[in-house]
Amino acid sequence: MAIGLIVIGDEILSGKRVDQHLPKVIALLKERGLSLDWAEYVGDDRARITATLQRSFASGDVVFSTGGIGATPDDHTRQCAAAALGVPVVLHPEAKELIHQRIVEMNLTLDMPTDLNGPDYFRRLQMGEFPEGADIIPNPFNKIPGFAIKQHYFVPGFPVMAWPMIAWVLDTYYAHLFHQQPQAEQAVLVFEIAESTLTPLMEALEAKYPLIKVFSLPSVGSDSMRRHIELGVKGEPSQVALAFAEMLLGLDGFRAEYQIIERSD
């Protein structure tokens, strides 16, 4: 089962906001022994959002989606999710009650009456209109819920709301997957050598040890660090240990200069 992230909003693509969701979701998953398999950024375009969700619903992946679930003209995610599934958007009764409570509480704070027949009241209730068959995701910040349907979890774009909601989803629905696949990673910095020289070694290690992946992160260097490659293996711990030892032997065969990276975690 793969895990994906969709970040929705023109403000991300235009640079008005810097996305904080990707690193946070990676961290939330890592804390639970899980990892993110893919991520996509999508602007506030209905056709593109719908097409993206059609693909992700068809994938069978667990997907988190942030942004676009409000009730302003640039919020399309609720409608696009329904369109992608071919179902209507309906007012969720529990969401309606939570939003009603929030409106009443806010008006009491402002010492204002609550007009249950006013256009503002009904406009706010639209935030509880979800694809038919959806469940709610509780929002501890202001009670306005997100929604879940077909292993897709839709939360607001605001980090203060989105992150605890994503953590709740993981802890509520996927605790049985936590730390099920032990992972290890070992790496070295290899100095002043071409990636192409090391490629046959990397290919041989992946062929010999099917439960690991080899990674290579080249750097052109800086004033404080020479040109180098971060070369390593990650995956099943016992195979990582064997593959890494063999990698070091291979580097010795090239007479390469390298430095083992000590991991604090």
Rounded to an integer, what distance in angstroms lies between the CA atom of residue 186 and that of residue 204? 17
DSSP result, 74-106: T--HHHHHHHHHT--EEE-HHHHHHHHHHHHHH
Specify the CATH class of 3-177 in words: alpha beta
Measuring CA to CA, which residue among 19, 63, 58 is closest to residue 154? Answer: 63
- According to the model, what pLDDT value does residue 9 have? 96
| Residues of the chain under the 50 pLDDT cut | none
Query: 25: buried, middle or exposed (CB in 10 Å: 19+, 13-18, 0-12)?
Result: buried
In the sheet that 152-155 helps form, which strands lie side by side, from edge to edge? 38-42, 3-8, 62-66, 152-155, 146-149, 135-137
pLDDT tens-digit map of 118-164: 888 888 899 999 999 999 999 999 999 999 999 999 999 999 999 99
**Which spans in the chain are helix H?**
10-14, 21-31, 46-59, 77-85, 93-109, 119-125, 159-173, 195-208, 237-253
List the chain domain ranges.
Answer: 3-177, 184-260
> What was the pLDDT predicted at 119?
82
Q: What integer pLDDT is reported at residue 46 of this predicted model?
A: 97
- pLDDT at residue 264, rounded to an integer: 57
CATH fold of the domain at 184-260 = Alpha-Beta Plaits (3.30.70)
Task: Sort 263 into a burial class: Cβ within 10 Å, 0-12 / 13-18 / 19+.
Answer: exposed
In whole angstroms, what is the distance from residue 158 CA to residue 151 CA?
21
Which pLDDT score is estimated for 265? 54
Burial classification of residue 21, based on how many CB atoms lie within 10 Å of its CB (0-12 exposed, 13-18 middle, 19 or more buried): buried
Residue 76 and residue 113 in contact, taking contact as beta carbons nearer than 8 Å:
no
